[in-house]
Amino acid sequence: MSLTSRTWVPAMVPWRATEEGYATEANIEWYARFARGRPGAIVVEATGVRDVPSGPLLRIGDDRFIAGLARLVQAVRRASGGQTRLLIQLIDFLAIRRRPEPAKFFRRFLRITDRHRSALGAHEWPDAAVRERLAALPDAELIEVLSERELESLRMGYRERVTDIHLPHIRDLPQTLPGSFAAAARRARAAGFDGVELHFAHAYTMASFLSPLNDRPDGYGGGPAGRVRAPLEVLRAVRESVGADYTVGCRYLSEECIGGGTTVEDAAWFGVEFARAGMNFLSLSRGGKFEDAKQPAIGASAYPYTGPSGYECMPQYISDQRGPFGRNVEPAARIRAAVRAAGFATPVVVSGGLHGFEQAENLLRDGKADLVAFARQSLADPDWFQKVKLGRGEEVRVCKYSNYCEALDQKHSQVTCELWDREALDEPGIGKSRDGKRRLLPPEWKAASKDPA
């Protein structure tokens, strides 16, 4: 796959799919709008490889999703005049529940164990009495009675981990994931995508395998070689299903940015192993973990972009001295150097606080990365790429790093940007958010009218 420029729009979930996981007209228009800006490549949002209910997230876990995705591919081809390559991000994620009402947690969800009975001296009590007693305990005493995981379920909402090997479906993940990703990649190829990006980043299943917090004792955890095993087996299965001539890359973390998480050294080692195994590109993000997420409100789910690692993933303008700009560039450069030193030419994509032409040009020139990815800057102004190419950079709508878009993502609301979503609301025929207050797409840029050519 070759690109017309070294620019990349990384995956961003806009919450426009149907509840059943199908691509909607709004999805198609969204990607066509990005394509009119003509970046080198666009990666379609995280799309579920398993056919399980996941709200308005795209799915690719069954052949019935191919037709809708194929229409999306064609729309992007048309809108970019064939200039933009299109990939799709393939994701697997584990179950997460909302933070429960404490009363419900104790009366319904908590499984009563001998540990609770011993702590309460309640060996002979019926379950219901143990539950009532627990529900009445003050916090300080609960800490003594509940296990760490039970406390977490109470305070944050229950969340599965790849280390929960007492659960058969988690124990068997190394056997089931390769097949799910391979089938999804085959469907992506059938739909016409130019390639797939395996989602090995942030808070999801594959990143959890790579994390040092993964101490699975079955050969798929522990040291780096064990932790990279499932991701490499996924890659091998995907490669077998799509063939040698199809683009398969991954997005993973240059650092997890949590206590005891992956470091740049780990990530460099993984990068070399991925390159050796035939990954066609390495796209680097950082942070975005559940481990340090803020406590959600009762009835809401934990969101992995609310803690310090979330900040590193999507830095905003309320920041430290370094500001939100280019925080992933140096780690990416170190990983790229390690991959090159091992003799591999695998392209490295960097993202995180990139918004300016000079910044992007310099980091490419200095060999810190091979491609520059702009998520929020593309959302603020999908015409960035055209404007910069035509020497009209002063017309760029520059991202403020306000994270208004991220807040919408957190609520699973249709994602828009505050810099344009109230503009020209009376324009005929435009799509609007469910409450009618926001436009769903940025206004068109009238490039031709001002173009000196």
Ligand X SMILES: Cc1cc2nc3c(=O)[nH]c(=O)nc-3n(C[C@H](O)[C@H](O)[C@H](O)COP(=O)(O)O)c2cc1C
Tokens 């219901």, residue located:
128
- Look up 204 and say whether it is catalytic: yes
Nearer to ligand SF4, 363 or 380 (CB): 380
Residue 419 binding target from ligand SF4, ligand X, none, CB below 5 to 8 Å by type: ligand SF4
Asked if 336 and 372 count as a contact pair (C-beta separation under 8 A), the reply is no
The residue annotated as part of the active site, out of 204, 252, 303, 401, is 204
Question: For tokens 């305990």, what's the residue?
Answer: 137
x/- string (CB under 6 A) for ligand X, residues 29-68? ----------------xx----------------------
Q: How far is the CB of 72 from ligand X (least distance, A)?
A: 15
Q: Nearest to residue 356, comparing CAs of 333, 380, 336, 332? A: 380
Rule CB under 6 A: is residue 418 a binding residue for ligand SF4? yes
Minimum CB–partner distance for residue 384 and ligand X (Å): 11
Q: Note whether 69 binds ligand SF4 by CB under 6 A.
A: no
Angle (deg, nearest 10), helices 229-242 and 264-276: 30
Does 7 bind ligand X (CB under 6 A)? Our answer is no
- Select the span of 11-19, 67-75, 131-139, 241-249 touching ligand X (CB under 6 A): 11-19
184 close to 177: Cβ distance less than 8 angstroms: no
Q: Does 326 bind ligand X (CB under 6 A)?
A: no
- 3-state class (DSSP) for residue 207: helix
Q: Which stretch binds ligand X (CB under 6 A): 7-15, 238-246, 259-267, 269-277?
A: 7-15
* Cβ burial 119-144 (10 Å sphere, 16+ → b, else e): bbebeebeeeebbeebeebeeeebee
Provide the mask over 372-411, with x wherever binding to ligand SF4 is found by CB under 6 A and - wherever it is not: ----x--xx------------------xxxxxxx------
Per-residue DSSP letters for 305-347? Answer: TSSHHHHHHS--SS--TTTTSSTTHHHHHHHHHHHHHTT----
Cβ atoms of residues 58 and 27 within 8 Å = yes
Instruction: Verify binding: residue 201, ligand X, rule CB under 6 A.
Output: yes
Question: Counting contacts by CB under 6 A, is residue 29 touching ligand SF4?
Answer: no
For ligand X, the closer of residues 72 and 354 by Cβ is 354
Q: Compute CA distances 387 → 308, 357, 378, whole Å.
A: 34, 10, 12
User: What burial letters (b/e) apply to 293-325, b meaning 16+ CB within 10 Å?
Assistant: beebeeeebbbbbbbebbbbbbbbeeeeeeebb
From the list 100, 221, 310, 352, which residue makes contact with ligand X (rule: CB under 6 A)?
352
Question: What are the C-alpha distances in Å from 53 to residues 48, 319, 441?
Answer: 10, 36, 27
Please choose, out of 4-12, 30-38, 138-146, 421-429, the segment that lies near ligand X by the rule CB under 6 A: 4-12
For the annotated catalytic residues, the residue numbers are 204
- Give me the residues that bind ligand SF4 (CB under 6 A), please: 376, 379-380, 399-405, 417-419
By CB under 6 A, name the binding residues for ligand X. 10-13, 45-46, 89, 199, 201, 251, 285, 313-314, 351-354, 374-377, 405-406, 409, 415
